[in-house]
Amino acid sequence: MNSLYGVLGWDRFRLYDKDMGAAVTATGRAVIEFTEEVSGEMGYQVTYGDSVTGDRPVVVRDPGDRVQITPVESLYEQVATDIEPDLLITADGGAVAETTVGKERATPDGWEALSMNERGEAEWQPIEEVIRHETDKEVVNLQHKFGESTTTTDHSFVVSDDDGFTEASPKEVDEPLRIPGVPAVETAESVDLYEVLNGYTREYEDGRSVGSENAETKVKRVHTDGERVWFGHEHHHDLDKTVTLQRHVDLDGEDGASLVRLLAAYAAEGSASTTETTDSKFGASIASSDREWLETLQEDYRRLFDGAIASITASDANDERRLEYGEDGETTYEDTTEKLQMMNELSAVFFREFAGQTSRGKRVPSLVYHLSDDLQRLFVETLVEGDGSRKFRRYTEEYSERNFDYETASRELAAGLSTLLTQRDRKHSLKYRDQKGTYTIRTCDYYRSGRDPVIREVVHDGYVYDLSVAENENFVDAVGGIVLHNTDSVMLELGSEVSTEEAIEQSFEIEERINDSYDEFASERLNAEEHRFEIEFEKLYRRFFQAGKKKRYAGHIVWKEGKDVDDIDITGFEYKRSDIAPITKEVQQEVIQKIVHGEDREAVKEYVAGVIDDFQAGEVDLDDVGIPGGIGKRLDAYETDTAQVRGAKYANLLLGTNFGRGSKPKRVYLEKNGVHPDYFQRVGEDVRGDAWYDDFREDVSEGNGVVCFEYSDQMPEEFQVDWEKMLDKTLRGPIARVIEAIGLSWDEVKSGHDQSGLGDFM
């Protein structure tokens, strides 16, 4: 069916027929519907196969033949129409449990996916459907030096074997397969900047002549007169103060080199402030300690923009920073960072639309994949010069000149750079640093023998996605170019009175019955003599429950893949996340285990009530209560300070810590006026003169006090922790979602009284 759709549904095929292609796709859906039909006749229901999480970048080509690296959820949103909600049905406490989740399908017109054929060659193939649905299944992240992906456990990776290629689940992967290249694409000779920027708008309220109460909503947008581009209103073209940008850029000339350098430098060390990130000044900047580099970019900017001021100024960072190395002492260095500032809204829109926004939202512009070899090389060199490194201690100078390290907090930027290197036939590896939340891409001359993949469970609530691709039924996760396949699976409910032995026997009978039914279905409904439809009985739960509106479940597994086991399967709950307090992890896991092992409500209630009592009495370890959170960039680089950032800044000022980019301190909240006056009396004059000192005192007086620490003994005795707030922040939500599934409420447990309904008094 996929091969047939591949020609009928491909608009480049000479016998292209969109309606016929859609009919073939509908036949594919009939296979799934038939499986549900047979299961229904037997008294069971189906849950569909899963795929990747929505944030995974995939390599696609749009109807205009432009290569894009885009999160699969964004691709779905671009092409989806007529969305209908999913249906969820759950059952608790039986021998096994099931959920049914409907698939939502979008049929893109003219989109293609990077895919691999049976000969191991990279090619573009039409995307038949982009599919999404909610899932209850365990989600895992597989990391390897070739790349990574985050998928459900029943999703398949394409791997090499003796006979060519086969599929393997994440746990079966020894070495994921990287797409061998990127098929040739058309090289761009020029770029229309209006085409790139057009579509971005900003609404604002204009009450200049009528007052704020009668303000009129107006919209600023991108305009062109054919030669120049500007942002605002159409009549702004006639104003002398309007900043404009040349519309057409010849990529073979100096203008093309200027454009590429600016985009690469921004992707590496730039920031753009638009209405999405700020309510005040709009503009863009690029930071560097290399003034000569910034001056080159300044000239590049002036070549493309007219009427704009581009100035190089000192960075907002302190003139001197202090680094601590263990217990041996400290060193200081002068911070010479400067910024190329381009403070106008057109510049902000320009960089945002080309290369994304914020440190975690940057990307390689789509244009780059269509540049000449020389311009691609210029882009990479500028990117590395901005935020990369060519220092390799154990290698020769010649090796260091050929290769580089590049670190970024943006998954899309890492994916884009990896795809670009694959397109350029450059060997490279990737490494994700969980503590810092960053990816490091390293080029190399050859691959050393590597370690086995690292697989870790991740918390995921919401949709997973799949691409149905003509011919090959595989697509590429752009973080490393890992080739992915898809798998369908089924979960069925047998009933609460069935023993383990009976459940296993029934499950194999169900497997045989459904598989046998596919022969008749293929023959009578599809007129096919051969097919490859098959399901397999995988695991058995003794007790299972699902909590909350979002997909959170846990179960006690007693049989899995032919073996008796005694294991707890927990998916979707917070306790596996790295950004929760240890006490959250401990208490939630204990409550879940009590439930799936069959302990009664009173036992759960008694345990949780005891934890709450200890909390309110302040009899818990501060190290267990502190909420960890990562710092993704320099503290002074945040446009809006979160509680974690404020706590880190206060700690650096008051506790002598050195939190910054890459740190993951723990956060606690302080009581209103929860710092003893004696503390403020003994702080030094250098601290009192800091603006952050005044902010800290104000926050504490208003009940917004927060501070970070690495070890609890760093906390001054004069700081009074707000234990009630910490209880709410660490336990209330995560525990309430679990105990509500067994008929308990948080308030009931906390107060020690049953929450009786009106009917109890009738």
In a domain, 256, yes or no: yes
What's the confidence (pLDDT) of residue 94?
32
Domain count within the chain: 3
Alpha-helix runs per DSSP H in 467-532? 500-524
Q: Which domain holds residue 306?
A: 188-209+216-317+333-371
What's the confidence (pLDDT) of residue 238?
81
305 and 178, same domain (yes or no) = no
- Ranges of residues in the chain with a pLDDT under 50 are 1-10, 21-22, 25, 46-48, 82-101, 317-333, 487-489, 548-551, 755-762
240 and 339, same domain (yes or no) = yes
What's the confidence (pLDDT) of residue 455?
92
> Within a 10 A sphere around the Cβ of 570, how many other Cβ atoms?
20
- Nearest CA to 142 out of 404, 456, 410, 373 is that of 456
What's the confidence (pLDDT) of residue 425?
93
* Domain termination site, one of 487, 508, 534: 487
| Alpha carbon 615 to its chain's center | 33
221 and 304, same domain (yes or no) = yes
CATH number of domain containing 667:
1.10.132.60
For residues 615 and 724, give the distance between their C-alpha atoms in angstroms, rounded to a whole number.
8
138 and 170, same domain (yes or no) = yes
Q: 607 burial class (0-12, 13-18, 19+ CB within 10 angstroms)?
A: middle
What's the confidence (pLDDT) of residue 640?
74
In a domain, 551, yes or no: no
For residues 387 and 368, give the distance between their C-alpha atoms in angstroms, rounded to a whole number.
18
Q: What is the DSSP string of 132-192?
A: EEE--S-EEEEEETTEEEEEETT--EEEEETTEEEEE-GGG-SSPPBP------PPPSEEE
In a domain, 522, yes or no: no
Token pair for 161: 């074997």
In a domain, 698, yes or no: yes
Q: 32 burial class (0-12, 13-18, 19+ CB within 10 angstroms)?
A: middle
202 and 160, same domain (yes or no) = no
Contact at 8 Å (CB) between 672 and 684?
no
What's the confidence (pLDDT) of residue 419?
97
pTM of the model: 0.60
194 and 181, same domain (yes or no) = no
Token pair for 52: 């990747």
For residues 535 and 693, give the distance between their C-alpha atoms in angstroms, rounded to a whole number.
64
70 and 109, same domain (yes or no) = yes
Contact at 8 Å (CB) between 355 and 368?
no
In a domain, 163, yes or no: yes
Taking every pair of Cα atoms in the chain, the longest distance, rounded to a whole number of angstroms, is 88
Only one residue has tokens 């047939």, namely 4
In a domain, 18, yes or no: no
For residues 584 and 594, give the distance between their C-alpha atoms in angstroms, rounded to a whole number.
15
What's the confidence (pLDDT) of residue 512?
87
144 and 193, same domain (yes or no) = no
* Domain termination site, one of 435, 463, 487: 487
How far separated are the first and last CA of the chain, in Å rounded?
Answer: 62
What's the confidence (pLDDT) of residue 295?
97
What's the confidence (pLDDT) of residue 61?
94
